[in-house]
Amino acid sequence: MEEVIFQRHLKPQWFWKLHKWLQIGEERKMKISSEIFDRLFYQCISRKKELLNRSKTAMDRDDFDLLTFMLVEDHNNQEEREMSAFKKSEKYARDMAFNLLSAGSETVSSGLAWFLWLVATHQLIENSILEEIKTNLNGEGDGKGRHFSFEELSKLNYLHAAICESLRLYPPVPFEHTVSVDSDTLPSGHQIGKNTRVIYSPYWMGRMEEIWGADCLEFKPERWISNKGELGDVSPYKFRAFNAGPRACIGKVWTVASDIDKEDRLSMLRKIMQGGHPEREGGLA
Ligand code: HEM
C-alpha cells in the first residue's frame, strides 16, 4: 500500500485515477491490499468489542488503547455524545486505524532506530538520559516494564530534547512537497507563481549552518534546552520533521509534545476524529 501511495506522488493525478477506475496496474494492487487490511482489521474490531462488552471499566484498564478510545463512548461528555453516531460505525474505526497505522508506524520505527543509534554512539548523552530517568521516575522496576503517564514523561526534558535532536538530523520524512496558493517569493529569493509545486528537504534543513549554527552536524540535545533547564521554543517552520501549519502531523502530540496534558491530547484527538485539525504551532507543541 505504501508503495502505491508513494507512486501516486510521482505520477500525474489523471494517470493513477484512470488506472484506479480501470482497476489495472498499481491501483489494482491497492484494491487487493485494502481488502486484506479490511478483513484483518474488522476481525480486530470484533475481538475488541467482545472484550469491551465483558468489561465495564474498560476506560481504566491497562490495555486501554486507541481502538478502545475509538469504540467506547463517554456519555458524560457533550462532545462525545455528539460523536456517538460516528463511533458506532466500524467503518469509522477502520478508517481511523488505517490513517494512524499508515502514517504512524514507519515514521516511529525509523525515528527510533536513528535515535537509538545516536544514543548508543554518544556515551555522555546516554548517561545523561539514564540519570534523568533515575531521578524523575519512581521505582526500580520489576523487569516487566510498565506504561508511564504523560505527567511522568513530561519531567524528562533531556530525553525530549535528545529525541528532537535526533529527528532534526534524521527526519523520518526526509523530503516533502507543497503547492503555493498564490505567487510568492521564497526565502532564497526565488519567485514562484500560483499553483507551483515546491519540493524541500527537512533532512537538509536540519543540517544547514544558517538555520542551526556552526555545530549543526553535531548531535547535541542541549541546543533544545534553555539556561533554566526548560525546553526552548522552536518554531515548527524551523524544525520541519513533523511539517508545519494546518496539515502538520497529528502524531506529534504523542511523539514529542510533552507539554500538552492528557485532557488536551484527548480533546485534540476528538477534534481530529470529527474531521478538524488542531492548529497548534507554538514551540514544540
Ligand atoms: C517520529 C514520528 C513521526 C514523524 C516524524 C511524522 C511526520 C509527519 C509528517 C512530516 C507529516 C506531514 C506529511 C505531509 O506533508 O503530508 C505527518 C502527517 C501525519 N501524521 Fe505523522 N509523523 C510521526 C508520527 C505519527 C504518529 C505516531 C501518528 C499517529 C498516531 C501520525 C499520524 C499522522 C497523520 C494522520 C498525518 C496526516 C495529517 C494531515 O494530513 O492532516 N504520525 N507526519
Q: Does the residue 79 lie in any domain?
A: no
Helix axes 78-87, 90-120, angle to 10 degrees: 110
Spacing, Cα 108 to ligand 1 middle (Å): 9
Query: CA–CA separation, 1 vs 145, rounded Å?
Result: 33
Number of domains in the chain: 1
Q: What is the ipTM of this complex?
A: 0.97
- The ligand 1 atom at the shortest distance from the C-alpha of residue 247 is 41
Pocket test for ligand 1, best of 67, 175, 249 (most atoms within 8 A of CB): 249
Provide the residue range defining the domain that includes 254: 105-137+148-175+203-285
Q: Is residue 80 part of a domain?
A: no
Task: Name the pTM for this structure.
Answer: 0.78
Alpha carbon nearest to ligand 1 atom 16, residue: 247
Kindly state the percentage of the chain with pLDDT values over 70: 77
User: Is the CB of residue 173 less than 8 Å from the CB of residue 107?
Assistant: yes
Q: Is residue 124 part of a domain?
A: yes
Closest CA to 235 of 276, 280, 180, 190: 280
What is the spatial distance between Cα 268 and Cα 253, in angstroms, rounded to a whole number?
9
pLDDT tens profile 122-173? 999 999 999 999 999 876 556 667 778 888 888 999 999 999 999 999 999 9
Pocket of ligand 1 (CB under 6 A): 99-100, 103-104, 107-108, 111, 167, 171-173, 176, 241-243, 247, 249-251, 254-255, 277
In a domain, 63, yes or no: no
- With beta carbons less than 8 A apart as the criterion, state whether 135 and 231 touch: no
Q: 164: helix, coil or strand?
A: helix
Task: Flag whether 24 is in a domain.
Answer: no
Residue nearest to atom 41 of ligand 1 (CA): 247
* Distance of CA 96 from the midpoint of ligand 1 (Å): 13
Q: Is residue 46 part of a domain?
A: no
- For 202, phi then psi, to 5°, come to -60, -30
Q: What is the domain-level CATH number for residue 121?
A: 1.10.630.10
Helix axes 90-120, 157-169, angle to 10 degrees: 90
In a domain, 267, yes or no: yes
Convert the pLDDT of each residue in 57-68 to its tens digit.
545 556 667 777
58 within a domain of the structure (yes/no): no
